[in-house]
């Protein structure tokens, strides 16, 4: 291959990564907005007269979207494994757009009564059904188009694109808080980021439609139907459960340091909304840097060492870090703790996502990945804001969310030891 050909190929790979993760960025942007603006949403749709009850109802609705993820993983995952990565990613985007538009446009409880929270719940369920296969579809696409020996680096951009979504969401939140009063934001202007997401959807459809199918998928002679995929999932249930436990560390730590951070900063530490959003912004930037770096490191040293090291670090430092923070709350202390947890999350996730694509059977890779990831998110991660809020209320310990992350890290460590227990050391430069 000539230098010119190499340059063109590299440029083509870069453009492909941008197209596939561009859609993933917006899907996750719309999905996470609900968590970022939980306080405003609770007042608009769940006005119980009790701040804790309203916030819990909001986080339970947020979590309900994750309960739909396993269904999306099974049905949409089977569709993607059957008809192709490109077509499946277009379908997931359409479903996410409908859910986001619904949440953005529904009048508040004061206007239409109980219909308001019901319609918001439907919007969340649509988002969850779509997201059930979005992460798996994008991750598998990136793993199949990656150059040999660089799968970790390529797949890490799926998670990195989510961090860009968080940066944009946090930046919009910061702009709203410095431009409008808290009353104005609560009354209406929290909806602006949702409208922004809706307006960009046509661009995303263009990006997704321009994607080419992966060569690995096109070369596959047998493409299983839904029945075969379901049978494979049942036959490989132990692998799916181990994969779910592997993801638990990622999904709990991610939602703890991103979606829950604005609420934790305001409601628990009593910091300003602006301070909490700036910390969230910094965490997203930190994640964006560390994810591809640690994905590339996992290409060199293997997935297993990174998975073990960072689950152990999380087990021993998550709760003490948060306990120290709540004992001496300040913007600087919150930033320091959140950046440390960000380092743990991104370093683990940089190796974990590509590892999950590698342990799944090739012919049902999207469905298997998506089901394991969705189950972890539904059981562990999606309800992290609600669980964190409930733990603080029940125990009176403001650092209790750290215990939830510790438990998830223990699940990740056990899963790593189980999945890699029979694997011999691999040659240098060969992905684990």
* Any domain includes 425: no
* Any domain includes 219: no
Average of pLDDT values for 262-289? 87
* Any domain includes 293: yes
> Best-predicted range by mean pLDDT among 15-24, 130-139, 360-369, 381-390?
381-390
pLDDT at 159: 83
pLDDT category of residue 4 using cuts at 50, 70 and 90: very low
pLDDT tens per residue across span 137-183: 777 778 877 788 888 888 888 888 888 888 888 788 788 888 888 88
Question: Rounded to two decimals, what is the model's pTM?
Answer: 0.78
Residues 84, 217 contacting (CB under 8 angstroms): yes
* Any domain includes 400: yes
Nearest to 94 by CA among 133, 37, 60, 66: 133
pLDDT at 249 over 90: yes
Which residue has better confidence, 216 or 173? 173
Cα 270 to chain centroid distance, Å, stands at 26
* Any domain includes 342: yes
* Any domain includes 176: yes
Element (H, E) at 155: helix 151-179
Element (H, E) at 244: helix 237-257
Domains in the chain: how many in total?
1
Chain length of the chain = 432
pLDDT at 34 over 90: no
pLDDT category of residue 262 using cuts at 50, 70 and 90: confident
* Any domain includes 128: yes
pLDDT at 27 over 70: no
Residues 19, 141 contacting (CB under 8 angstroms): no
**The domain that contains 176 carries what CATH number?**
1.20.1250.20
b/e per residue, 339-375, with b = 16+ CB within 10 A? Answer: bbbbbbbbbbbbbbbbbbbbbbeebbbbbbbbbbbbb
Which residue has better confidence, 253 or 224? 253
* Any domain includes 259: yes
Which residue segment(s) compose the domain that 275 sits in? Answer: 18-213+224-419
Which residue has better confidence, 333 or 181? 333
The share of the chain scoring above pLDDT 90, in percent, equals 26
d(CA 38, CA 49): 16
Nearest to 352 by CA among 397, 314, 393: 314
Nearest to 173 by CA among 295, 278, 328: 278
């Amino acid at each position: 291959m000539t230098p010119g050909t190499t340059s063109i190929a590299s440029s083509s790979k870069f453009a492909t990564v941008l197209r596939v993760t561009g859609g993933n960025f917006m899907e996750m942007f719309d999905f996470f907005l609900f968590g970022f603006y939980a306080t405003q949403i609770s007042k608009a749709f769940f006005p119980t007269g009790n701040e804790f009850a309203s916030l819990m109802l909001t986080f339970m609705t947020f979590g309900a979207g994750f309960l739909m993820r396993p269904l999306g993983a099974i049905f949409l995952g089977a569709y993607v494994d059957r008809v192709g990565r490109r077509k499946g990613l277009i379908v997931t985007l359409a479903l996410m757009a409908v859910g986001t538009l619904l949440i953005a446009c529904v009048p508040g409880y004061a206007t239409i009564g109980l219909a308001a929270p019901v319609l918001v719940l439907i919007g969340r369920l649509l988002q969850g059904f779509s997201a059930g296969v979005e992460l798996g579809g994008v991750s598998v696409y990136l793993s199949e188009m990656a150059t040999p020996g660089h799968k970790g680096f390529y797949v890490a951009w799926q998670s990195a694109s989510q961090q860009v979504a968080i940066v944009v969401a946090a930046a919009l939140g910061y702009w709203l808080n410095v431009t409008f009063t808290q009353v104005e934001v609560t009354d209406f202007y929290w909806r602006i980021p949702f409208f922004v997401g809706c307006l960009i959807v046509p661009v995303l459809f263009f990006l997704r439609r321009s994607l080419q199918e992966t060569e690995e998928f096109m070369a596959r002679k047998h493409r299983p139907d839904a029945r075969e995929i379901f049978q494979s999932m049942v036959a490989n249930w132990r692998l799916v459960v181990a994969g779910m436990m592997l993801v638990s560390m990622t999904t709990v730590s991610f939602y703890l340091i991103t979606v829950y951070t604005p609420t934790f900063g305001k409601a628990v530490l009593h910091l300003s909304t602006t301070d909490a959003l700036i910390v969230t912004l910094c965490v997203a930037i930190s994640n964006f840097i560390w994810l591809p770096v640690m994905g590339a490191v996992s290409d060199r040293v293997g997935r297993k060492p990174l998975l073990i090291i960072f689950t152990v670090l999380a087990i021993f430092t998550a709760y003490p870090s948060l306990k120290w923070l709540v004992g001496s709350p300040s913007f600087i202390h919150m930033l320091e703790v959140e950046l440390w947890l960000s380092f743990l999350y991104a370093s683990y996730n940089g190796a974990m996502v590509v590892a999950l694509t590698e342990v799944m059977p090739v012919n049902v890779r999207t469905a298997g990945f998506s089901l394991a990831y969705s189950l972890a998110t539904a059981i562990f991660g999606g309800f992290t804001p609600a669980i964190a809020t409930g733990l603080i209320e029940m125990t009176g310990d403001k650092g209790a969310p750290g215990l939830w992350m510790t438990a998830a890290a223990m699940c990740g460590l056990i899963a790593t030891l189980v999945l890699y227990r029979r694997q011999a050391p691999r040659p240098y430069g060969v992905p684990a």
